[in-house]
A and B are shown apart, each in its own frame.
Chain A
Amino acid sequence: AQSVTQLDSHVSVSEGTPVLLRCNYSSSYSPSLFWYVQHPNKGLQLLLKYTSAATLVKGINGFEAEFKKSETSFHLTKPSAHMSDAAEYFCVVSDFSSNTGKLIFGQGTTLQVKP
């Protein structure tokens, strides 16, 4: 079975400071991992994805994540937070080899950016 745990339900940073959103996963298979962002009253947008290529994945808006198999982690980082980064972030795992069409979402981390 697959699962994903987002270690912080709420993260608060000041504008211009680094962002770290933590995610651990569990998977019996070689997983595919994603980060999605949801701004208030909006749908979800894909930030980045890992699918067994490079372990350091760069996404949109300056975000990146590093896949660490030994730690079963896929933390999301950004060097400098911007006010527009305030949103809900979801870490997601999927096993495409089983072709279920199903993504497993974490519970989400709310990022607050203070001026």
Chain B
Amino acid sequence: EAGVTQSPTHLIKTRGQQATLRCSPISGHTSVYWYQQALGLGLQFLLWYDEGEERNRGNFPPRFSGRQFPNYSSELNVNALELEDSALYLCASSLKGGGRYTGELFFGEGSRLTVL
């Protein structure tokens, strides 16, 4: 069974540009989560999508956005890139049990975004 896949693996952009990162969850998982892992800041919750809807977002500016498609894959968009957006962006997926998420997340290997 394929795990969570993310693309691209690496992405280099310049300040002010836009970045799009993509994630395919494990088959059967309806929830997708995005986390940012920046040097010195640890892992920060970005977004949670479930069944096509945004359920929650972390403390990030609106230029961080995303969506979930009918096949449950997801993309994260970062507009007006800033130097401090350089980080590893991790996508995770999970099953949902009884209408609530179970908390056991399966992570992809991440997309490393470098902003120059």
Of A42, A51, A99, A102, the residue contacting B100 (CB under 8 A) is A99
Which residues on A sit within 8 Å (CB–CB) of B56?
Answer: 100-102
A49 engages B43 (CB within 8 Å):
no
Q: Give the bracket for the number of chain A residues in contact with chain B.
A: 20 to 34
Which residue in B45, B50, B100, B110 is a CB contact (below 8 Å) of A96?
Answer: B100
Q: Which of B33, B43, B102, B103 contacts A90 (CB 8 A)?
A: B43
Q: How would residues 6 to 40 of chain B score, 1 for a CB under 8 Å from any chain A CB and 0 otherwise?
A: 00000000000000000000000001010000000
Q: Which of B94-115 contact A (CB under 8 A)?
A: 100-110
Interface residue? B4 (CB, 8 A) = yes
- Contact of A96 with B101 in the complex, beta carbons under 8 Å: yes
B61: Cβ under 8 A from any A Cβ: no
Within 8 A of B (CB), among A53-80: none
Interface residues of A in 64-115 (CB under 8 A from B): 90, 94, 96, 99-108
Chain A interface residues (CB < 8 Å from chain B): 32, 34, 36, 41-46, 49, 51, 90, 94, 96, 99-108
B residues touching A (Cβ–Cβ < 8 Å)? Answer: 4, 31, 33, 42-45, 48, 50, 55-56, 58, 90, 92, 100-110
